[in-house]
């Protein structure tokens, strides 16, 4: 049986301008039903502009955009009941209590979740407090509660955990995981790489208006070299180490060897095999794939070099 993956969001050649400045410069994005797709990027990369375009808040200057099979601007009214949006700042009336705000929002959406979502986000005890009296983190959680109230098919989360303490961040992640398990599709933007590592099925990193890398976390991490380091066994020099075919760079400082490799499994195998055969120990041996932070730095460098070259 052929499984067809339904694309909930599909953008092709998307470009967005502010006057003469092009903030998004021809990106392709596809988000599959039921996944969490994380859109990451440097400051000013164009994430918010992209997300606002997908939400139907601004028109693309070029390219095609389909959200749940519809044009987000032309079909905004039909699309709106099916999507949930958590903006960086929502404009709810500060004079209403938390409970009144939820009731009001539930009455204008098709929602059935109502106050239980406040419990899930540890806001139940704040139900009678006026919105304007909430702390920044509580306000953020209320924004999330409202975005998920109507059980949207597609949820846009724009930096949902900024300003949250670690416990609140965990609760938010738990709620997002519950929604994913129920089949909700989520587009997340975040500056917290750990958040993307925790939650994302696939991700893209933007820099200066373009998508620099995209794929599963494993795909993305594989775009940067892995690292091996160890102490050179006493009495040996680096010249006596076996040839490691995938090594890209190597440094020896105070008997400590640091290597970067394009094939961690292979080179590590050769190195450990060689040490075992010679009966020497590679003390303080460490091997790790690249981190998302390494990829981030790599992206910035690569796009900037390409910009200079072009
Ligand atoms: N209304 C506007 N008018 C002119 N330029 C804008 C406007 N909004 C955003 N920009 C510019 O477009 C670029 C992309 O901005 P955007 O807010 O989409 O980036 P971002 O990736 O969300 O950034 P951040 O992570 O800093 O929030 C930036 O250079 C920004 O200065």
For the cut 50, the answer to whether the pLDDT of residue 310 exceeds it is no
DSSP 15-65: EEEETTEEEEEEEEEEEETT-EEEEEESTTSSHHHHHHHHTTSS--SEEEE
Residue 269 Cα to ligand 1 midpoint, Å, equals: 46
Tens-digit pLDDT profile for residues 68-86: 999 999 999 999 889 988 8
Question: Helix, strand, or coil here: 75?
Answer: coil
Q: What angle do CA 32, 35, 39 make, to 5 degrees?
A: 90
Tens-digit pLDDT profile for residues 116-137: 777 777 787 888 888 888 888 8
Region 289-296 average pLDDT:
90
Region 252-269 average pLDDT:
94
Question: Helix, strand, or coil here: 261?
Answer: strand
Region 195-221 average pLDDT:
93
Task: Give the position, in ligand 1's atom list, of the atom nearest the Cα of 52.
Answer: 18
Region 256-261 average pLDDT:
96
Query: Edge to edge, what strands does the sheet with 247-253 contain?
Result: 247-253, 256-261, 226-231, 286-288
Radius of gyration of the chain (CA): 24
For the cut 80, the answer to whether the pLDDT of residue 294 exceeds it is yes
CA distances from 170 to 79, 137, 141, 161, 174 (A): 30, 13, 12, 9, 6
For the cut 60, the answer to whether the pLDDT of residue 271 exceeds it is yes
Q: Is 41 in the pocket of ligand 1 (CB under 6 A)?
A: yes
pLDDT of residue 117: 76
| DSSP structural state of residue 133 | G
pLDDT of residue 230: 97
Q: Which of 16, 20, 21, 38 to mutate to test the pocket of ligand 1 (most atoms within 8 A of CB)?
A: 21
Q: Where in the chain is the domain with CATH 3.40.50.300?
A: 7-221
- The percent of residues in the chain predicted with pLDDT above 90, rounded, is 59
Region 216-243 average pLDDT:
92
Region 87-96 average pLDDT:
70
Residues 127-162 as b/e (b if ≥16 CB within 10 A, e otherwise) read eeeebeebeebbbbbbbbbbbbbbbbbbbbbbbbbe
Residue that is written with structure tokens 């004079």 in the block: 95
Contact 204, 211 (CB under 8 A): yes
Residue 306 Cα to ligand 1 midpoint, Å, equals: 21
Phi, psi of 41 (to 5 degrees): 170, 170
- Average pLDDT of the chain? 88
Tens-digit pLDDT profile for residues 30-72: 999 999 999 999 899 999 999 999 999 999 999 999 999 999 9
In total, the chain counts a number of residues equal to: 310
Question: Helix, strand, or coil here: 2?
Answer: coil
Q: Where in the chain is the domain with CATH 3.30.70?
A: 226-289
Q: Is 205 in the pocket of ligand 1 (CB under 6 A)?
A: no
Distance CA 132, CA 130 (A): 5
Q: Give me the CATH topology for the region 226-289.
A: Alpha-Beta Plaits (3.30.70)
Residue nearest atom 28 of ligand 1, based on CA coordinates: 44
Q: Quick one: CA torsion of 209, 215, 219, 220, rounded to 10 degrees?
A: 30
Contact 99, 128 (CB under 8 A): yes
- The percent of residues in the chain predicted with pLDDT above 70, rounded, is 92
Contact 83, 184 (CB under 8 A): no
ipTM of the complex: 0.97
| pLDDT classification of 145: cutoffs 50, 70, 90 | confident
Distance CA 253, CA 290 (A): 21
Backbone dihedral region of 34: left (phi > 0), alpha (psi from -120 to 50 degrees) or beta? left
Sign of CA dihedral 217, 222, 225, 229: positive
Q: Is 23 in the pocket of ligand 1 (CB under 6 A)?
A: yes
For the cut 90, the answer to whether the pLDDT of residue 111 exceeds it is no
Three-class SS string for 211-247? EEEEEEHHHHHCCCCEEEEEECCCCCCHHHCCCCCCE
Q: Which of 41, 45, 58 to mutate to test the pocket of ligand 1 (most atoms within 8 A of CB)?
A: 45
Q: Is 18 in the pocket of ligand 1 (CB under 6 A)?
A: yes
Q: Is 209 in the pocket of ligand 1 (CB under 6 A)?
A: no
Phi, psi of 131 (to 5 degrees): -55, -40
Q: Give me the CATH topology for the region 7-221.
A: Rossmann fold (3.40.50)
Which two three-digit tokens encode residue 113? 């979740």
pLDDT of residue 193: 92
């Amino acid at each position: 049986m052929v499984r067809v993956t339904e694309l909930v969001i599909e953008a092709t050649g998307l470009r967005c301008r502010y006057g003469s400045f092009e903030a998004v410069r021809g990106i392709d994005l596809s988000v599959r039903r039921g996944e969490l797709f994380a859109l990451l990027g440097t400051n000013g990369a164009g994430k918010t502009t992209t997300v606002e375009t997908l939400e139907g808040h601004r028109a693309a200057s070029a390219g095609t955009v389909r959200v749940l099979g519809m044009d987000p601007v032309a079909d905004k009214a039909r699309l709106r009941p099916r999507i949930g949006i958590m903006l960086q700042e929502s404009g709810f009336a500060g004079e209403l209590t938390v409970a009144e705000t939820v009731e009001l929002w539930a009455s204008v959406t098709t929602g059935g979740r109502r106050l239980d979502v406040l419990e899930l986000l540890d806001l139940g005890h704040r139900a009678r407090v006026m919105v304007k009296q909430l702390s920044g983190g509580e306000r953020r959680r209320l924004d999330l509660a409202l975005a998920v109230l109507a059980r949207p098919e597609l949820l846009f989360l724009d930096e949902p955990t900024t300003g949250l303490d670690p416990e609140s961040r965990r609760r938010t992640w738990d709620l997002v995981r519950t929604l994913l398990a129920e089949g909700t599709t989520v587009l997340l933007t975040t500056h917290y790489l750990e958040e993307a590592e925790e939650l994302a099925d696939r991700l893209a990193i933007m820099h200066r208006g373009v998508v620099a890398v995209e794929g599963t976390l494993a795909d993305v991490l594989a775009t940067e070299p892995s690292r091996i380091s160890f102490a050179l066994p006493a009495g040996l020099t680096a010249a006596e180490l076996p040839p490691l075919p995938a090594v890209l760079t190597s440094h020896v400082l105070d008997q400590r060897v640091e290597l970067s490799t394009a094939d961690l499994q292979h080179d590590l195998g050769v190195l450990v095999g060689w040490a075992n055969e010679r009966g020497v120990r590679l003390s303080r041996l460490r091997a790790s794939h690249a981190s998302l932070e390494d990829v981030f730095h790599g992206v910035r460098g690569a796009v900037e070099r390409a910009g200079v070259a072009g």
